[in-house]
Every structure is written in C-alpha cells, then in structure tokens.
Chains A and B, each alone.
Chain A
Amino acid sequence: MLQSPVLFFAILLLPLVGALVHFFVLKKPKGYSAFLFVFIPFLLSCPSWFFDQKVVIYGFSWLKLEGLDFKVQFLFDSLSNWMVHLILGIGSVIHLYSVGYMAKEEGKRRFFAFLNLFVFFMLVLVLADSLWLTFFGWEGVGLCSYFLIGHYANKEKARLAANKAFIMNRIGDFGFLMGLFLFFAHTQTLEYSLINQTLPDLILSQKAPLWALNLGGIFLFWACTGKSAQIPLFTWLPDAMEGPTPVSALIHAATMVTAGIYLLLRLSPVFSVLPWVREVILYTASFTAVLAALIATKQWDIKKILAYSTVSQLGFMFSGLALEANAGSLFHLSTHAFFKALLFLTAGAVINTLHHEQDIRKMSLFASFDQGLKSKMRVLFLMFAAGAWCLAGLPFGSGFFSKEQILNPVFLSNHPFVFFLLLVGSFLTAYYIYRLFYLVFFQKNSSPSKEPDIGHSSLPALPKTMRFSLFILAIGSFVVSLSNLPHWLEFITEPIINLRLQKIGISPSVLEGSFAKEMLVTSFALGCAVFGFWVARFSFWAQKKEKTGSSSSDHNGLRERKFFIDEIYDEFLVKPFLSIGQALKNFAEPFFYHFPLAIKQSFVFLGQRLGQSGGIFLQPKSIQTYGIIFTFGLFGLVLLFQFFVHF
C-alpha cells in the first residue's frame, strides 16, 4: 500500500498544501478546510496500519559532495507508522475542535495555516530517514510553535512567551547540532539505519573513543530537554500556554513535545550501548517528573497546571526510555497524547464558556450557590473526569496501564531512589489533577451575590464540533490502552523490541520480571494514585468547611513561585550574558565607533574642502548617484584589468 510513493507523498504533502492554501488563497476560512487537509491524509494512511513493513521512500538528492550524498529519504517502519497515525489522528480531532473554538477569534487564516504547517513539519520529523532531515522537521515545528504561541500578538505576555520558547529551543538545537556532528564524525553518515548499525559496532570494538560518543549522546539528550521540556530547559512550556488552547493541546501536549522521545526511540540501539548517558537521562527525567508535579500542586492557572503536568509526564517517559522500556515509553506517549489532549480541550472549552477566566479560584463565580459548576456543564464535567481518571492512573484508565509499564522496568533495574521518585510523582499527579478537578467543578459560588446574574444565568452551549471532538478523545483515551494491554503492542513495536533483544548488557529476561513483582509494582502505583486522589478530595472538603477563601497568605511559597527557577535563570544566566555584552561594547567602542567616526570625519572634512571647489558633482547628496558612480567605476576597473591582462 505505502510502497507507492504517490500515496506516501500525498499523505506527507497535503498538510503543506493546506498551509499554502490558507496563506494565499482562502481569505476567511471557517476551519473545515484545514480539518480536511489533515483528515484526508489520515484516511489515506489508515490502510498502512495493517501492512506493517519497513518501506524506504527516496525523494531526491539534496546535496552531493564527494563521496557523500545527503538524500531526502523517508523511512516508513513500525515506529513512524505509529507516530504518523497518532499525529494525524489527534491532529484532525484537534483541527475539528478548533473550528468551534476559533469561531469568534481573529486571525483565523494565520492560525489554520500554521496549524497545517505544523502537521507537515511534524510528519517530516517522524518520517525522516536521516538525522539532518529530522533536524529540518525539528526546526520547522519549533517555528510553527513560535508563531502559534504568539498568536495573540497584541498581548505582550504572548509575545514574550513566544520569544522565550523560541530562544530556549534554540539553546536545545545547539545540542542537536553538536550531537549530530559528533555522530557524523565517527560514522560518516547521518542515515538512521547506518548510524544504528555502525555506532554500536564502533563502541563494542572500541574503535571510537567512548567519551566522544558519550558526549554526542549527552548533546542529543540536551536537544531533547529543549524540545521535550526537561529539567534545564523546561520553563518555556508553562509560558507557552499563552497560545490558543488547541495549540496547547496539539503542540505542547500531544505531538511536538514528544519529539525528544521519538528521537531517543529512533536512536535506541545507539543509546543502549551508552549506559552512562542513560543514567544521566534517568536521573534528570525522574527529577523533572517530581519537580514539575510539585510545582503543579500550587498553581492557580488551569492551563499552567496542565502544562506542568505535561512536563512531569514527559519525565516519566524519559525515565522509561533510559531503562530501555521502549515499548512502555511509546505506549505512555500515546496514552498521554490522548488524555492530555482531552484535558486541554476540555479546559479550553471551560475557559471559553466562562468568558476567558483561567484562574481556578475565580471559576466558582460562575457556579450557582448550591451546586458547583458540574451541574451547569455536564458534558465538560464528564469529559474532564475521564481525562483526570486516565492521567491519575486510576484503574482501567489508560494512564494506569502505561505508567505501570514504565514503573515496572524501573523497579526491576535496581534503582530504588528513582522508583521512589516516580511513585512520589504519580502520587502528586493524582493529587494536583483532582485538586484542579474539585476546585473547578465542585466549588460552590461563595461570593456575596454581587453579580447574581452571572451566578444564575445559564452558560453558553458548546459548539457541536467541539463536543464531538471531545467525545472522540474521551473514547480514545480509554480505547488506546487496548493497544498494549498484555502484549498487544508487540506487533507495532516489533523492530524496537527486536533491537532491544539484540543489544548487550541487560538480557531481556531481567526486564521481564515475574508476575508477582509486576503485581507488586501495580499495587504500589495504584496505592499512590488512590492516596493522591483521597488527599485532594479530603483537603478540598476540609477547606470548604473552613470557608476561608483567602489563599493569599501563601502566595509567595516556593511552589507557587515555581521554585524561583525563572528568577535563577534570570539572575545567573540572562543578566551575566547582558553584562558581558555591555562589557564587550565598552571594550569595542573605541575600535568600532570612535575609529570609524574619525575616518568619517576625515572624509567629511575632505568633502567640505573639495566641495568648495568641486561643486555639485562631488557631492550629489543622493546615494543613487554615488551608486551610479560606483558601478561605472567598477565597470571601468574591470575593463582596465582585462586590458592589462590581454594586451
């Protein structure tokens, strides 16, 4: 099916065509057109679901150097098959949702064009057969993310957030390039299949210095920390919530931020022989999982809580990857894509219904006096409950199955501290999501009836497209767990698993574990999730009885201020950087300012002297005349040169 390049390029290029159409043709799109440009590729790609084979599609040769051929070549194997379906499936649902969400907004043309362009670049990223083509997609999604975060360009916060996201991703991209160069220096190729073959051989036969490849691995993980928001570079993701909510759902929860996971999955044979790098990844990721979850427990902006939750869940995925639980990681990526998109879209619908109120403390102002918001928005309440259930890892939600597949290898790999951290992470996950859930949907209106019309009026109904896409995602976040229930994902992740078995060091039996151990881990995880749920529930009802309402006392707590990470970066990185710039300016000013100034003044002096005698010809006062004189002068010089050469 997909061996025909025509069909393949139709799938790949239709979103790009959509972007161009929205840029140049459609003046006032409603959004259905953008939806079609993603949905049709999805339909076209569906048959390939059943033909799980490795296909290499050759496009053209981008650059031919001596002995080197940089080919635009795509690889369609099980991993990219899975990712393409995920991107196009969730992408089309979110496009459909945006039709309703953006109905009254301005700049729809721009919005839908960049959304389609994003899908194109994301497809390039996951389908590329070489590191440099992946890098092309990697940059492209970053660019689209920048434009979409800054969609409300007249809001200063949105502009700053867009800049922050772009600059931090740039810092990460430096790592990508460095890693790419280091790998290239040792393998002389950038194609995945060759890198995955030659690099492990090089390391095992000790033909390449291990430190260089370790450094390359660290650099690539650095790139992942930028794109996938891990510890040093994660602060851009919460700020990126300034963009419209569908963007937060599609780019900053479901697809783009998982690019780092995808990269490590793709290069898993290389990373499996770099145990030191995997150790670094493991500790960074598990710390991220806990730190972000801790911050999320004290935030008040509904979208920021979800953003920190995304960072934390990505930490879980990276921890799984570091222990080569590739299937589990990919599985958690997929389930997370579903339920986090669901949570974001529901949150967006709530925000839209409540007249752009994002603070969960003020949402109760729209509730009635005897019941919380749940009675006013039944659908959204149920949808959010489904998403929260899955995220918290309560039984039979998709997060329950997938988180367990990450915790299991951690438990079996003798990392008790990491296991403890991840259990704390899953406890906090359940806590913050149910804290949010209770505050939004159960808090009664306690304001002394200043605005009774808000409290009693019914809220605007949800557009049909939004309701429909929420339903699809809610069903999806339960159904997706079927893909890996006992060993069902095996056929999808077959090559990864095979590669994992081929690798040396940890034998597969160590990772399998016994049934009893598995049950132990499951009960641990379940215990943490239920405990978190009950703590959130208990503290909500306890706080309700007190009726304090004023939570300004702990407004400057460590968690509320996000552990001062932004401030630390400002103080220790941004300010020194600026002062270095200032110092350089002071140092260079004599050379680059005063010296040219002296030259200029000498010319001015000369010109004035000559002008007194030369007149208009030497001072025509228009740069165009100078240009003509310069052109003919150059022409004359060339003629003169030719004359001297030939005669």
Chain B
Amino acid sequence: MAFIFSLLISFLTGSALVDRLLSDKDGKTPLALRLFLGLGLGWGFSSALLFVWLLTIGRFHKSYLLLELLLCLFFVTLSAVKKERRPKNLEPKVPLAPPSGFSRITAVGFYLLLTGGILILVLLSILYPHGNWDAWAIWNNRARFIFRAAADWQEAFNPLLGWSHPDYPLLLPLSIARCWFYLGEEKLWVPSAMALLFTLITTGMVVSSLSLIISRSQGYLAGIILLGTPFYLIHGASQYADIPLAFYFLSGIVLLSLSNQRSSNGCGGSILAGLMIGFSAWTKNEGLMLAALIPLSLLIKAAFTHRWKLPGKSCTFFLIGVAPALAVLLYQKIQLAPANDLLVLARPAQLAANLADAERVIQILIRFFKSAFYFGQWPIPLAPFLILYALVARLSDQASKAHIFPFVLIFLQTGGYFLVFLLTPHNLTWHLDTSLDRLFLQLFPSLLFAIFSVLKTPEEILLCLRRHSNLISLSLSWIIVFRLDMFHLLGKNL
C-alpha cells in the first residue's frame, strides 16, 4: 500500500507538471502521455528532492514524506487553477485518428506481445530478485547504503567502493531508497518493481507518442518490435539503469518533436524536454552527452529547415529545463563522488596514440556494424528487416525536413560513443563487449520512434499500393526476410 502511495505521489506531481507545461496553449494533454511522462518525471523530481533533503537535513525523517505530499498538492492545485482559465475546445493540431481495422489487428498483436513480455519480466524478477551484476554491484548497493546508513549515507561514495563507480548518478538508487523509506523497511521486490515499471512506461511512451503524432497502428507496430526484442526484455528485468535512461532519452526526443508539431511556441514542451534530458543525466553519465548534443542537433535541424529563430528559443527553454537536474548532478560529482574511472585512468600520451590508431578505428567500426546488425537477439537480424520494411513502406507524406532532428541526435550520440571507445583507457575488446549492446539499447526506443514517425502507416500503405509493383516488392521483401532467417540460422549452426 505504501509503495502504491509513493507511486501515486510521484505520478500526481509529475503529471501535474506535465499538464502545466504541455497544455499551456494547446488544450488537454492526452491521458496516456500524461501517465507515462508523469510517472517518469515524478520519479526524477522526487529523487532529486530526496537528494537535496539528505544533503541539507543530513538523514531521512518522516517529515520528508509530508514535504513530498505538500509539494504534490501544490503542483496539482497549480495545474487545476490553470485549467479553469484555459479556453475550452482547443484540440491538438494533429487529432488522434479513430481506430481502423488495421489498428485493431495491430492492437491484438501488441497486447499479445505485451502479455508475453510481462510474463518474461515477472519470471526473471522472481528468479533473479537482486538483478544482474551491475544492478546489485552498483545501483541496488548504493540504494542500500542510502537506506541503511541513515546519517552516514555519504559512505556510499567512499573510495573503498571505487569498483562500484561511486560517481554514477543517483536517480535509480534514490528512487529505490525512497520507496523503502515509504515502506519503512527494505523490501527485495522494490528494485524489481521499479525495473518492470520503467520497462512498461518506456513501451507505453513509444506506443502513445506515435499514436498521438502518426496513428494508433503505427504506435502498435513500433510497440510490437520493441516487445519482440529479447534483449530489451532481459534488460527490462536486469535492474540496470539502461532502460530508465532509454525512457528519459525517448521522452526528451518525443517532447522536442511534439513541440515542433503541436505547440505554437513550444516553450512548455522544450522545458519539459529539458527536464527529461536532465533526469537522463541524473540516471547515467550518457545523459550528459545527450544534453550537450541537443542544442547542436537543433542547430543542424534549423540549417535543414532554414528556420533559424526557433533553435535559439527552444535551446533557451531546453536549458531552463535541464538546469535543476544538472545542478544536483554537478553537486554530487564535484562534492561527493570521486572522479570517473575513464578520466582517472586517461593519460594524454595514451589518448593521442589511441586517436591516431587506425586499427582501433576499424575494430570499433566493425564491432558497431556487427552489434547494430544483430541487435536485440531477434530470431532474424532486426536491422535489415527494419530497412526492408522502410523501403516497402516509404516516407510518409507528412514527413518533413524537421523530422531529421531525432535522427541527427541519435547519430551524434552514437558518434559520441564511438569517440569514447576510441579514447578509452580500458581494454578495448572488454569495453566493447561489456557496454556496446547496452549503449545501443539506450537509443533503441528513440530510434524506433524516429523511424516510425516518418514512415507511412499501414493504412496509408494500403491506400498507396499500386496493383503490381508494390505487391511484388512486398512479396520480395517476404522472401528476403525468410532467406535472411535461413542465413542467420545457417551462420549460427556453422
């Protein structure tokens, strides 16, 4: 009960903020979007609040729960007051299409896979309640320090724990510890429940955002691919921070794309996107890189669309949104945690040698290509399947140059990862083996959103199908997919 209450407080605070920022001039925020964004934002907000509380008061006290409740009431009231003043009958620019025959078929498929996905997540959580290696060695271990050590919670950053990366951000450990504070005791199922909820809201975010921007069937199609990806489900239950990070990446990208399409000035959307990306940095260090790359991506988009006024405005509001999470993160990094291992181990001469090492570049490129090709542990390689589908489906008529933004951002972030591997002081093979697939997983939901937001929907494809040519290309794609499956199986057996 206390766990549900903690969720409810987070959700109400988050959704009130979402409602306040998104519905400024555009009317009502869709319920699904408010639910998923609200929960994620609420967790980010409450983890940052708990961190500030622990820093100022020194230890957890029950009055913290009262503070959360009061803040929740404040935001909910603020949102309700604003609603009363809002003019009625304001609909979003792109209204949600009524469900078609296709969306019903895809919905059935999606819910089938969702059931299977939840079963897998629950089974894994029961069998491995502490999660996989990084979960217990890093994230849950830190949560235990914060909860168990009371006034000595800063022992979590002791140099003796250097192997567990004390410089890693605290959103996940603090969110787990916060639930334990609500419960009054340490329950093993809390980290599993958090992991499960993050996986579900990430899936929900992909489906609902595409449903809102494009069509329901398009949202369900992307959801089917996401839930059919074993690697996504395995990591959903692993209790690692990669899925929460993927959620905040996706939310930030969706909000920036939405503020493009729906809002007249997009200031609320940009602030909210900033908050989400800020919380991604508060989840894992990779979020810091994304936060730095967003202004650059907005500039590149402006160069493509020749609308130079918007990025300045978007960037300003985005930076306002990023600021709170960055402030707590910087405090943790500067005042509490030891330096990151990559920075400590780096030597200028070694970095220069790594940069000039062509063999290293080729090794990373090959590994990037292989990982992208076989990503997700699908029965057939997913990447060529998606490319084939994109070739058959083709670009939607609504796709414009503005849609380049998420692709640019994902490309730049991947380039950033490439640079990190090029410079890493660790053994390159070990570093690639232990992290590359997870780095791709962090971007996977955002990439699915980006791809499906520019492709034709099944309904559009059906309307555009010319009698012969497209039927032939569709049949051909079927054959190629089956052949790929055979090659894949053959490769596996060999």
The answer to whether A and B assemble together is no
Which residues of A are in contact with B by a Cβ distance under 8 Å?
none
Which residues of B are in contact with A by a Cβ distance under 8 Å?
none
